[in-house]
Amino acid sequence: MRIAFVGAGNLATNLALALQGKGHELTCIYSRTEESARQLAQQIGCPYSTSLTDINACEADIVIISIKDSALQEVASQLNTKALVVHTAGSMTIDTLPQERRGVLYPMQTFSKQKRVCFSEIPIFIEAAKAEDLLLLQELSQSISQRVVEMTSQQRQYLHVAAVFACNFANHCYRLSANILEQHGIPFDVMLPLIDETTAKVHQLSPHDAQTGPAVRWDENVMKRHLGLLCSEQQQTIYKLMSESIHNDQLRPQENQSHRL
Amino acid sequence: MRIAFVGAGNLATNLALALQGKGHELTCIYSRTEESARQLAQQIGCPYSTSLTDINACEADIVIISIKDSALQEVASQLNTKALVVHTAGSMTIDTLPQERRGVLYPMQTFSKQKRVCFSEIPIFIEAAKAEDLLLLQELSQSISQRVVEMTSQQRQYLHVAAVFACNFANHCYRLSANILEQHGIPFDVMLPLIDETTAKVHQLSPHDAQTGPAVRWDENVMKRHLGLLCSEQQQTIYKLMSESIHNDQLRPQENQSHRL
């Protein structure tokens, strides 16, 4: 397919390269910042522009908008094209786009410039206003991922907040752990086997069943000592709140069970 | 070496099997609960007992106590042996043990009955009151792990609280994520590729540099919408607190930098 990109950030870069790798034709890359547009266009070997008029003029079957959520509505309103217009934002509804032919292609992953990701394992959640456009998005998505799921905007917003917990907040737990280690001269990489195993476990057990540590056992001596070792009030507050939440969760097996049905 | 075990829980089971696998002789397994002692002893093929007198009487070079922290001091006080006595508790000091020949062997990992772990990658932190016993512990630990580190009780307590953040709290983030998905009929395994990548990233980038999401960008629209989707007050409080902590952390790159030096 012929694809134009509005945006040249982390997600756009990873997605554009993955699509090109599967033989799709990138027809134009737009970015507000010329340097970003040029960088990605050079990697792809396609034209770039800092004017949306060029996106409207270029030949494309699909225009993928991958920019920050707050700019989405305004930028989309300037697109005047017969192509299918889709955005990649997990937390924005399909109706943020004014186009009749509108859709969403949300690859649920954490993208950083410094690390390329392999798309084939990334779940892609798609939605389209028209049935034929859904088929188009399905075909495009399946060309790069083994796991393509249709999902409404309504459901996708819960997926997005769940992803914030599983990714951003889990990573912040690593960060807080690294902070403590740094303050005491212990290298962070001693923690990696534990982090790897914690992740490996939830492939086999539910996170509820996989939980260990002083909060599950409600070992008040250990928790009290831990609180005394933490040097910032924010760390202490997080320690208390997470421990209480773990403990509450363990006390409610019946309720948790029912969620699984 | 000849090794006796006091305790037959998750850690004791995993450690005893690993040691036997490397040719060490298990001479006796003690547990308060006969059923636990028998189960582990049968797997190993060694005697078991519910009386500490049998541990005192058995031939052993090292007695490993692996029981809950709160019982450690009292149980250790009943041991009367010429062997080196060590415990496996990350958060307890070496001096919890009254023996002259005392030590610590702390394998930093999350152990569940339902999942066997491979010891060779697990960092083991050791400490001993006597130099010759430290060598003994080193030899024993190196027989099952590639990563054996000497560490004082003082430092180990920081390691332990850091492990609570990196393992228990990160896993609880998975649990909260699973809760949200369950409530909306989305299977948890769609989250696994994201969880795997979040973990893979901190092998290459620091957790600070790896962070993504609405809290880093301080995207108040998205965060406000997310808060509206969460159905419990505790989830909302955790969402706010973690987001603020991520944001504060991003505002302090200089301070973080200095910790790394």
Q: Which residues of A are less than 8 Å from B172 in CB distance?
A: 207, 211, 242, 245-246, 249
CB contact under 8 Å between B158 and A170, yes or no, is no
- Model confidence, pTM: 0.88
Tell whether the model's pLDDT for residue A257 goes beyond 80: no
The Cα of B55 is separated from the nearest Cα of chain A by a number of Å equal to: 27
The Cα of B23 is separated from the nearest Cα of chain A by a number of Å equal to: 24
Tell whether the model's pLDDT for residue A208 goes beyond 90: yes
Name the residue in chain A with its Cα closest to that of B194.
A109
CB contact under 8 Å between B108 and A239, yes or no, is no
Best residue in A68, A126, A222 for a mutation probing chain B (most B CBs within 10 Å): A222
> For A113-117, what is the mean pLDDT?
76
Please tell me if residue A68 touches chain B, with a CB cutoff of 8 Å.
yes
Please tell me if residue B94 touches chain A, with a CB cutoff of 8 Å.
no
pLDDT at A261: 26
CB contact under 8 Å between A193 and B159, yes or no, is no
Instruction: State the amino acid at position B93 in one-letter form.
Output: T
pLDDT at B83: 97
As for the ipTM of the complex, it is: 0.89
Tell whether the model's pLDDT for residue A6 goes beyond 60: yes
The Cα of B49 is separated from the nearest Cα of chain A by a number of Å equal to: 25
pLDDT at A226: 96
pLDDT at A115: 76
pLDDT at B107: 96
**Which one is predicted more confidently, B257 or A250?**
A250
SS (H, E, C) chain B: CEEEEECCCHHHHHHHHHHHHCCCEEEEEECCCHHHHHHHHHHHCCCEECCHHHHHHCCCCEEEECCCHHHHHHHHHCCCCCCEEEECCCCCCHHHCCCCCEEEEEECCCCECCECCCHHHCCEEEEECCHHHHHHHHHHHHCCCCCEEECCHHHHHHHHHHHHHHHHHHHHHHHHHHHHHHHCCCCHHHHHHHHHHHHHHCCCCCHHHHCCCHHHHCCHHHHHHHHHHCCCHHHHHHHHHHHHHHHHHHHCHHHHHHHHC
Please tell me if residue B252 touches chain A, with a CB cutoff of 8 Å.
no
Please tell me if residue B257 touches chain A, with a CB cutoff of 8 Å.
no
Please tell me if residue B172 touches chain A, with a CB cutoff of 8 Å.
yes
Residue keyed to tokens 């109706």: A95
Q: How confident is the model at residue A252 (pLDDT cuts 50, 70, 90)?
A: confident
> For A135-139, what is the mean pLDDT?
98
pLDDT at B260: 30
Q: Profile chain B (261 residues) by mean pLDDT over runs of 10 residues.
A: 95 94 97 96 96 94 95 96 96 96 95 80 96 98 96 96 98 98 94 96 95 91 95 95 95 47 26
Please tell me if residue A199 touches chain B, with a CB cutoff of 8 Å.
yes
**Which one is predicted more confidently, B151 or A10?**
B151
